[in-house]
Structure 1
Amino acid sequence: MKIRTGDIVTHVQRLAAGEAGGTVPDEEPPVVVFVHGLLTDSLASYYFTLGPALSAAGVDVVMYDLRGHGRSTRPTSGYRLENFVEDLALLLEGLDERRPVHVVGNSFGGTVAAGLAAWHPERVATAIMIESEPPVAVWNRHMADGLGHARRELVRQESIDWIAERYGSHTARLSKGAGRILEATTLAEEIPHGQVIDDDLSAIRCPVLAVFGDESGLSAQVPSLEAKLPLCRTVVLPRQGHSVLVEQPNRTRDLVLDWVREHHTPAARLETALSGAPR
């Protein structure tokens, strides 16, 4: 399915609760929206990991391709974080989805999830960030460094050959596709200059689950997230780097499903509503 979201058309796939097997729930199910990462990713990373499993467990699932990725429109410009966040808000509107959603984001997708929680709190029941950073000023600097390096290297055949030798032909094809995105768009220039939230994270009031690998540098955020977000739970997986979703899909599935079920009770929904109310 494709839906107009502002200046682009977004490719989206839905799996209703029970559609992928399992039992259709008697009451209104929770809805989970999956947001993938940048450049080498698409909704397929969830379609082949978490999406069908959550549908079978009684969850309404929404998966979509970010602008510039997969089967969504690839404009030459319009790649600040706020563009991605607004795409998601407009997608929910286009789907006529009125329930607060649980937003699961991997890597950059987790930053989009945090942005939606900060700028559209009425839309978000909880945010689940997998190997992600919230959109604060230091994140922009990290993205500038990473995207600058990717833009230089992924257009070089020598780099693609090295990736193929070390990580295999599939990863090399994805990396070559990422290079094409960087050549055809202003993504690398725009993302590091996107809108941010205050470092104290006070804009994020919903419950947050943050999942990291212990061998990833992003796990260093754990003390800060726990101190700044009163409704935050962190999980650090042992012997794991940045590729948590790909390498630990079953563990990630269980963490997400348990979290969504825990926060779908009437008491949890009331607490979430109160946490998002004006202070």
Structure 2
Amino acid sequence: MAMIHTGGGREGTRLHVQRMSPEDGPPAATAVLLHGLLTDSLASYYFTIAPALVAAGIDVVMYDHRGHGRSARPDSGYRLDDFVTDLECLLGQLEITAPVHLVGNCFGGTVAFEYAVRHPGRVAGLFLIEANPATTSWAGEITGILERIVRELVEHEAETLAWVNANRGAHTARLARSAARLVRTTTIARDVPESDVLSEHEIRAVRCPVFALYGSDSELAGQETWLESLLPDLRTAVLPGQGHSVLAEAPGLVLDLLLSSILEHGRPPRIPVPAGSAPSGATSKAVER
């Protein structure tokens, strides 16, 4: 475990970082794993795909976003720009100068895409898990999500946490309690929706390989068509029967697709689909374009 102080935001913050490197020989690539918002942390990678990535010869960097996990929780400074600046400072302090593969789950994918817009020569590839670039539509969606979280986890915290504990278990209740504290004691619910958004011109300027992964039952399913119209080097996959929590619920499939993207730059491996479960247009593998 390491703590790195960044210059992100007005005063910078301390970030909890974990780096795992192959023991035999130089790494084939470096992957930086970025987690989602509020209830997430680097643990979602540490206990799923990170060890297997290292075993495959990849240098892995994970960190808790500001306000999350073991990183510091500043009172303010939670616009998308602050998260991207944290990533810039982190890579600089770790002296990682070669292009990296950015793997972003949900909000982490939004941070990764913004970094790629700012630093096109520093990104070898983007792997987006249930994530989209920051657009006007994204801002509206994240505003609605955060407003609901404020109602449920702040205004009715006791009732909501009791329900979560009874129906989702003690571990999920602890995550929800931490998210409630973050929303209650910082400006994150106000800052994230006020982030600057990208124009279609800026999105089109991304030239590195991009792989976008969705669950067929997720609200984001269908976004791949829009992304394909903007990005010349985009591949997408839709996992049948999966919702938004693809990383947690299907880590093996995510790992196979990610390794294919990083090491082979080829087409995704075949993914078995139970009879009758494939969405419209699917074959007996992930829906891939």
Once the 2 structures are TM-superposed, how far is the Cα of residue 71 of structure 1 from its aligned partner?
A: 1.3
- Scaled by the length of structure 1, what TM-score is found? 0.90
Q: Conserved in 2, the CA contact under 8 Å of 1:54 and 1:257?
A: yes
Q: Conserved in 2, the CA contact under 8 Å of 1:213 and 1:236?
A: yes
Matching of residue 224 in structure 1 with residue 223 in structure 2 = no
Q: Conserved in 1, the CA contact under 8 Å of 2:102 and 2:125?
A: yes
Matching of residue 259 in structure 1 with residue 264 in structure 2 = no
Once the 2 structures are TM-superposed, how far is the Cα of residue 250 of structure 1 from its aligned partner?
A: 0.7
Q: Conserved in 2, the CA contact under 8 Å of 1:135 and 1:197?
A: yes
Q: Conserved in 1, the CA contact under 8 Å of 2:80 and 2:196?
A: yes
Deviation per residue, 1:195-247 (Å, 9 max, x gap) = 21113522322111100000001012011111211111000000000000000
- Between 151-160 and 138-147, report the one with greater CA deviation: 151-160
Matching of residue 240 in structure 1 with residue 242 in structure 2 = yes
Q: Report the residue type matching 2:70 in the other structure.
A: R
1:173 corresponds in structure 2 to 174
Q: Distance in 2 between matches of 1:229 and 1:94?
A: 31
Q: Distance in 1 between matches of 2:152 and 2:200?
A: 31
Once the 2 structures are TM-superposed, how far is the Cα of residue 121 of structure 1 from its aligned partner?
A: 1.5
1:208 corresponds in structure 2 to 210
1:15 corresponds in structure 2 to 20
2:165 corresponds in structure 1 to 164
Q: Conserved in 2, the CA contact under 8 Å of 1:77 and 1:187?
A: yes
Q: Conserved in 2, the CA contact under 8 Å of 1:17 and 1:29?
A: no
Q: Conserved in 2, the CA contact under 8 Å of 1:3 and 1:12?
A: yes
- Between 248-257 and 198-207, report the one with greater CA deviation: 198-207
Once the 2 structures are TM-superposed, how far is the Cα of residue 263 of structure 1 from its aligned partner?
A: 4.2
4+ runs deviating over 2 angstroms: none
Q: Conserved in 2, the CA contact under 8 Å of 1:197 and 1:203?
A: no
Once the 2 structures are TM-superposed, how far is the Cα of residue 36 of structure 1 from its aligned partner?
A: 0.4
1:132 corresponds in structure 2 to 131
Q: Distance in 2 between matches of 1:138 and 1:30?
A: 33
- Between 139-148 and 193-202, report the one with greater CA deviation: 193-202
Aligned to 2:200, what secondary structure does the other structure show?
Answer: coil
2:184 corresponds in structure 1 to 183
Question: Residue 65 and residue 143 in structure 1: after superposition, are their counterparts in 2 closer, same or farther (change >3 A)?
Answer: same
Q: Say which structure is richer in helix.
A: 1
Q: Conserved in 1, the CA contact under 8 Å of 2:21 and 2:27?
A: no
Q: Distance in 2 between matches of 1:205 and 1:193?
A: 27
Q: Kindly report which structure 2 residues correspond to 1:52-131, keeping only aligned pairs within 5 A, or say none.
A: 52-131=51-130
Deviation per residue, 1:1-57 (Å, 9 max, x gap) = 111111111110100124xxxxx24x5520000000011111111110111110011
Unaligned runs of 5+ in 1: 19-23, 265-279
Q: Distance in 2 between matches of 1:50 and 1:76?
A: 32
Q: How many residues align?
A: 258
